[in-house]
Structures are given as structure tokens and as C-alpha cells.
Structure 1
Amino acid sequence: MTEPSKERAPAEKDLKRVCVIGWPVAHSRSPLIHTYWIEKYAIPDAEYVSLAVAPDGAAQTIRELPSLGFIGANVTVPHKETAFAALDRHDAVARRLKAVNTIVTTAKGLEGRNTDGYGFIANLKDRASSWAAAAGPAVILGAGGAARAIAAALEDEGAPEIRIVNRTRSRAEALMRDLELKSAKVFSTAEAARALDGAGLLVNTTTLGMKGENDVTIDLAPLPQSALVTDIVYTPLETGLLRRAREAGHPTVDGLGMLLHQAVPGFEAWFGVRPDVTAELRNLVLADIGKK
């Protein structure tokens, strides 16, 4: 079942129309971000909308995007793996992750891409300019979809070792094997102290800390003070983990920038303009978060 966020007339042939697909999708800030850029760069005949798509109709809707009047789409939970399976063409990152968050119309048809890892790295470079992946091992808390994208991106960026800390070792080991990480180690949550020893980066990829609930509780004492700490959760902007890290003297980066930067490659592919992630856009999204 496909439910547009609001009723609209059929798209005109020359309208450059893009959507975000999810279930639910009302929480997505993608329409806010892309509409801001459409207006800022005066993209003619462009529109970005939300499309609520139930899981049982997601694959069909994704394959039928062109006939529905869309030149591309973003894909959010729970449809990223479904989108990968529904499409015949993928970029190298999506093929490695087996997940798609961006769909682009190419000369050969729809192509699935994944920009989550790009957004993560771009956020660190933007908010912590002195950080370098090669400076030390990267510790990843969690072994879900976000952890997959971030682990692959950190390896590509030159991290000398990826350390995955997860409650269920078997899931972390499966992630390591599936991505064929060249230098990776798995630790249980009880072994977190060993994972933090000598690390250059700590990233929380779980939902712990979201809305201030069930915070990350690992002891940060073994983590070198120079190590950067970041969190993909951005509600609240400063999670309990980031607050504890800041109070302990660690440099920190919040997760909002990952959301903003992952949107850049898709916008450029759809509309031919590479947008900037600015303080104005960041404040616009923060204001919207404050309303909900």
C-alpha cells in the first residue's frame, strides 16, 4: 500500500519529482532538507515529497518510481534492504552493504546507491577538521545497518583497525565476514574496555541514548583523551555518551551532520547542483526537531 503524504495532481512530464520512501515516513527530515536546497539554488520545476509505503508494497513501488512520476528517491527504514533487492543496478558501496538509501535514474534505468557512510565521514571532517581515520583504531558500538555502512566507510578512509563491540558476538562476526573487513576485531560489551584501549575514534551506531532514554553506559576511562567520540543519534543533539565524553575532555561530534551530509550526493545526482551543508540548514533542521 502506498500513501502519499498529501494529495497531489499527477506530475507533469517535465517536473523533476523526488520522494523519500519509508514506513512510517512522517518523521523524515529529508523533505525539509531537499526543499531548502531546491529553493536556495532555484531549481526549476523541482519537488520533493514524502511517500509512506507499507513493507508489502515497497518493492513494487520502488520498481515503478518512473511510472509514478519520480526521477529518484531516498529510502529510509525499513526499506533499505528491500530497495537493494528490488533494483538490478547498484553502485559499489550499495553492492557491498546490500542496502540502498538513494535511488537515481540513469541512462540504463534506476540505480541504487548508499550514501550513509559518505555522510558519516563528511560530518567528522566538517565538525572535527583535525580528525584523521589513520590516527588509530575505530571502535564501533553496535552491529546493525548503520554499523555496516560506517565500518565500510572507515576502512575505506584508512582506519588501521575496526573494533566492533556488540552484545551478540555472532552478529558482529557476521558483519565482519560479510563486509570482508581486512583488519577487524569483535568484542562483547563486557570486553569494551579492551576495545577502547588505544583507540582514535568511538562511534555509537545503536539507538541507545535516543530521546535521552537507555543511554550508552560503557566506561570511557580506557579511551585515550585525544580520541574523538561521535554518535549517530541526534535527538537529543548531545546524547548522554557525548556529554560524558565532553566532560572527560574528548573532542565530540554530534550526529546531525551525518543526516545533512548523506543528502548531498543524491541532490547533486537528481538536480545537477552540489549543495552546501550550511549553518543555516543545520539551524533549520534543529528548529524542526524542537517542534516534534
Structure 2
Amino acid sequence: MQMNADYTSFVAVGDSFTEGMSDLLPDGTYRGWADLLAARLAARTPGFRYANLAVRGKLIGQIVAEQTGPAAAMRADVVTLVGGLNDTLRPRCDMGRVKGLLDEAAERLAPSCRRLVLMRSPGRNGPVMDRFRPRMEELFAHVDTVAARHGALVVDLYGSGALGDPRLWDADRLHLTAEGHRRVAEAVWQTLGLPAREDWRAPLPPAAVPGWTARRAGDLRFARRHLGPWIGRRLTGRSSGDDLPPKRPELLPYEPPPGS
């Protein structure tokens, strides 16, 4: 792929991962890898435009219904599509339907942009995520198939051992920290053919392993503050993104937010 490519616009499509949770800014909003990538692309190209249609909690069917049409209409140079992982975390998941919808999303978006970028999302190492890994890996295998079918690029975040390190994940064990998002932005940057600034796959320095008591206390805090409410939303059919608008619904010139 051509290095030093110029991109004039970027639209991000997806769920909480693309919205930027849990890369929290001082004003209480989320930044995330897509904002970081937009900032870097904007620094190269005057008048660079950016939209982020992602909303936390969205399933792939909602992404297709609510985001792909507006994204395709924007005719951006770069479109990133990340979705389906929330579906795999549901107790009941029709993987055939999920894979079909992912293909439908790519079919809508690929003709509308210069570069469609798909991702094999990162997964945190740990017993909770291990339960869902077979579904995740089935989804990621299909991501490769969809990319080949539509000429899309794939960022293999799941294949990076570093991004599975629990230290790059927030206390909810579902969303990356600021450092994790920074690494994802670098990974997408490189996949777009732009010159590497660092090795985003580099492992973190060794750290002391917490004792059994500290680990159990952490597990209890996680269950009380995050896992319990998450299960409650699943049982009642609610989502963390209900009634929330996209973070950046229009393709407008990018200006970094205060405190970013």
C-alpha cells in the first residue's frame, strides 16, 4: 500500500469501542482511538473532516439500520466499521444473522469510500471473556471473509498479545484505557499506509502479580459495579446507549475538543 497517503475525511461506524469508552476527558466526554486518529489525519491535511456515528451498546442490526446509510451518504475517504461484538456477548446469539448483517454493512459502505477498514477487535485476557471467545473468533474469521469480498482492510487487534493485557483495560473489563485506545489509533494509522510512529504491539513491562486476596477483592468490585448492572440491562432488554445520539453525527472540519 502507498505510504504517506493523503486522506481528507473519515467516518467511524460502530459501538462503544468506536465511541471511545473508557478514554475519559476532563469534561466527562469520551475521546477514544477514532478521535485520536482523526486528530492525526487532520494534522496532515487542512480542512480534514470527521464524523463519528458510533453509540455505545449498539448491536450489529442497529448499526446497519441507523449508521450505515448516513455514513455511506457522506462519501468519506476512510470509513471504519466495527460491530457485532456486543451480539456475541448476549446469552442468545444467532451468529448466522450477525455475520449476514456485517456483510450487509460492508456491502453498503465499501462502494461509498476510498478505504473501508474492518477490525478484529481486541479481547481482554481473563475467564469472563474466555466464555465468549468461540463466538468472537467465529465473528473475526468472518471479518476476514467480508474484507476479502469487499476489498476492505483489516486491523488485527485480536492477534496482538499486548492488547489482551488487563492493564490496558478499564475496571469494567469491557473497554480499553486511554493507552489502549492510543495503541488502536496507531494500528489503524499504520494499516492505512501511514508511517509508523511506534510499535503498537509492544508488550507492557513486567509487573508484579497481585496476590489472591487482591484479585478476589477486584473481582468482587467488578461484579458489583459493572457485571451486575450489565446483566440487569441484558435481562430487561435495555442498552447503555438507549436514547443517546451519535457523538459526532455530521462530517465537519475537525477541531480537537478542549482538554484533549
Same fold (TM over 0.5): no
TM-score after normalising by structure 1: 0.35
**Higher radius of gyration, 1 or 2:** 1
Higher relative CO (Cα under 8 Å, sequence separation at least 6) belongs to 2
Comparing both structures, which one devotes a greater share of its residues to strand?
1
